[in-house]
Amino acid sequence: MPSQTAVVGSAVGLHARPAALIAQAAGQYDEEITLATDGNEPVDAASALMIMTLGAEKGATVTVTTESPEALAEIVGLVEQDLDAS
């Protein structure tokens, strides 16, 4: 399954607001989308709660995996943005 790494851009990491925005975007796709940090099991990207369990702080590397190239590009883009600033 295709995957790509992304560096967390949000100042607070993948906390409530960024996680909710990423989960909302991931929920629009039929394909499974997962996020993972090094050494941890992948979590469902459509669940804000599961994203927050990653504990990914600003600057952490997250691996996004999905069969959908469009979903991959969108979720990687969101992870890399400072979603608290918008």
Active site residues: 15
Q: Give SS3 for 37.
A: strand
| Burial category of 17 from C-beta neighbours within 10 Å (exposed 0-12, middle 13-18, buried 19 and up) | middle
Q: Cα–chain-centroid distance for residue 48?
A: 9
Radius of gyration of the chain (CA): 11
